[in-house]
């Protein structure tokens, strides 16, 4: 095993999979948890490889609770629908009760 190489992407997937049902987190939160606080973009970039994996990318949004990555999903409102199905209020690509559904890996994991 080469933890030096299998780092970012794999870790992002691990954390993303650990996101509880009906909760969401931000790229920056995951990046910070991984020790790469300034690499929030890489988290999202890593999610590009989440296709075909068990990574609930729809539970990962930006720090504002905005579904920035929805454009990478198939449909136009797929991501929102998934979140709403989990009990997360989403309006116009924006998480409503963000304070209630927000899940911080650094604190809860």
> Tokens 């949004």 — which residue?
61
Instruction: Indicate the angle between helix axes 40-47 and 27-34, nearest 10 degrees.
Output: 110
Q: Minimum distance from CB of 95 to DNA (Å)? A: 12
Q: Which of 68, 81, 93, 94 binds DNA (CB under 7 A)?
A: 68
Q: Which lies closer to DNA via its Cβ, residue 40 or residue 90?
A: 40
- Which of these ranges, 66-74, 83-91, 97-105, lies near DNA under the rule CB under 7 A? 66-74
* Tokens read off for 86: 């989990």
Residues 6+ apart with CB under 8 A from 54: 17
Residue pair 46/83 in contact by the 8 Å Cβ criterion: no
Give, as ranges, the residues between 15 and 54 that touch DNA (CB under 7 A).
Answer: 26-29, 36, 38-45, 47-48, 50-51
* CA–CA dist 98, 66 (Å, integer): 10
User: What is the contact surface with DNA in residues (CB under 7 A)?
Assistant: 7-9, 26-29, 36, 38-45, 47-48, 50-51, 57, 60, 62-64, 68-69, 71-73
């Amino acid at each position: 095993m080469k933890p030096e190489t299998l780092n970012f992407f794999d870790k992002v997937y691990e954390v993303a999979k650990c996101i509880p049902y009906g909760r969401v987190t931000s790229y920056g939160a995951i990046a910070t948890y991984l020790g790469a606080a300034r690499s929030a973009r890489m988290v999202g970039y890593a999610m590009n490889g989440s296709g075909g994996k068990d990574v609930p990318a729809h539970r990962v949004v930006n720090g504002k609770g905005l579904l920035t990555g929805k454009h990478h999903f198939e449909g136009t409102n797929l991501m929102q629908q998934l979140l709403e199905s989990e009990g997360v209020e989403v309006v116009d690509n924006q998480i409503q009760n963000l304070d209630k559904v927000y899940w911080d890996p650094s604190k809860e994991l």
